[in-house]
Structure 1
Amino acid sequence: MDSTHGHKKRRANSDSTLYQNQHSGYITKQGEHESLKRKYKHLKAVHELQNRTVRHFMHNIMSPLSAVSGYLELLSNSLSSVPDSEKLDRYSSHISSGLNEIGFMLEQLHDIYKEDHQFSDESESPIVELNWLVNEVKEIVSGAAGLCATEVRTLPSAKPVYVEAELFQMKLLIYNLVVSADSFSSPESIIEIEVEQDDSEFALIIRNKGGKCANTHVQSLFKKGDIVLLSEDMDEGSSLLLGLKICAQIADQVNGHILMDKRDGKTPQFVLTAPFTHSDNSF
């Protein structure tokens, strides 16, 4: 009797162990499945961003290419006659600025396609200091041949703001927002890029002081009010809207959102808000 009872108990323990092992394997496979789903979703988002960015840059790259071509022609004409050193320096400066702008665009395309080969968990995303990144973009935009505003200013936050995000994506986002704000420029325009932070979020504000919004595609977004939430579902009716759509997609990847706000005047300002990782010097 005791032998039979012991046998049943051992059998029950064996069955329990078998169930636990099988159940553990199920949990492991389920976890792997969820990981693959996350990676697939990330890959899909990257490919959508790649396609939109290529279309956007193919349109935008024509402006600096045309500018460089024009200044090369002027440079050639100047060299065929009595050289004017002041003109030559000016033409050379514009050509250099145009090539820098083209180089930046090509760098972004390279970085965005390189993302395909850099799969890792979202927890391994790099940390970027936002004020430093804003200054990097300012240097690029300020030297751009097609810049309409007279000046680009930065208003940094009181403390460093560290964001968990891909460097190239954040640089692309800020660049696109600045270029979009510049499309509203008048001859007196000044573009400001401001960084603010509170206890858990940062705000990146890009405004065009002195500009006028004559873009009909943008004006159509304000049919229902003076504040518009940029989203991936927006129509791509122009290169400007496509650029804003790319920004909305990147903002979503850093758990943020972008508002286009024209309550303070005729020219919309762009406000990106998202959580940050650190906001002090103890990084």
Structure 2
Amino acid sequence: MGGSNKTTQTTSNEPYSAAKPLLNQGMGDALKLYKDGGLVKPNTMNTVVPYAQQTTQAMGGLQSLGQANTGGQGLSGQLQGIIDSGGYNDNQMTALGGIKDAATGAFDINSNPAYSQVRQRAMDAASNAAALNASGAGRYGSGTHTNAAATAVGNVAADMDMGEYRNWQGRKDAANTQLFNAGQQGQSNMGNAYQGMQDAYSPLLQVGAMNEDLYGRTLNDQLRIAQERQNAPLANIQALQGVASGAGNLGSSTATAQGPSNTLSNIAGGALAGGSLLKSGGGKL
């Protein structure tokens, strides 16, 4: 005693009749394009933005500026000269020479013509004063007059020379301080000059970076085009599948329901069916 009870349901989804020609035409056209490799076409257009005329003009100016001031030319030559001179330009070297002379030179009372003139006038004034005093005392031309004049002149000269020596010592000390500071400044100047020589190449670096940027963008665009061409076959397949999936809800479908298949369930089902028949016949055999 066995058996099965199945319920089968079939569903058919048909497109709108007026749409069928459109679907057939669309699928046929898509298939033809796919076979020709034209369903998806790679974009091979150049998308790199070129330099503007103003940009190329500015680049040319920067390049000319850099070339005119590098390699020993223009600013780089002057800066190299400063480095070669210990950090000083020509005018500074002249001033530094004077400072060195003042800092290292020996004391010479006759080295300053202006001082010598003032000193001589003071000595003459002292001599004249001594002469006037001797004349007033009636001793002009005497030994007393001569001694007094010599003493006065000598005192004036000695006082002035001592003052000049002290001034020279002050100038010498100041010059030594200036010389030390000049050495420090020279080191700083050399560093600045070296940095300035590097900065002179900045315009050329700017132009080079701009050219490298353009080349990089061009290369990336070429890579993009190559990738699109390489991916075109796969993209065509995917596009064709996408077109085909648009008709996925059309056509026929079948659904099957499986009922109880064991003997006990069948007997019970038959008894229920027989009971229904008896009731419908009035309950008589």
Report the TM-score when normalising by structure 1: 0.28
Structure having the larger proportion of residues in helix: 2
Structure having the larger proportion of residues in strand: 1
- Bigger radius of gyration: 2
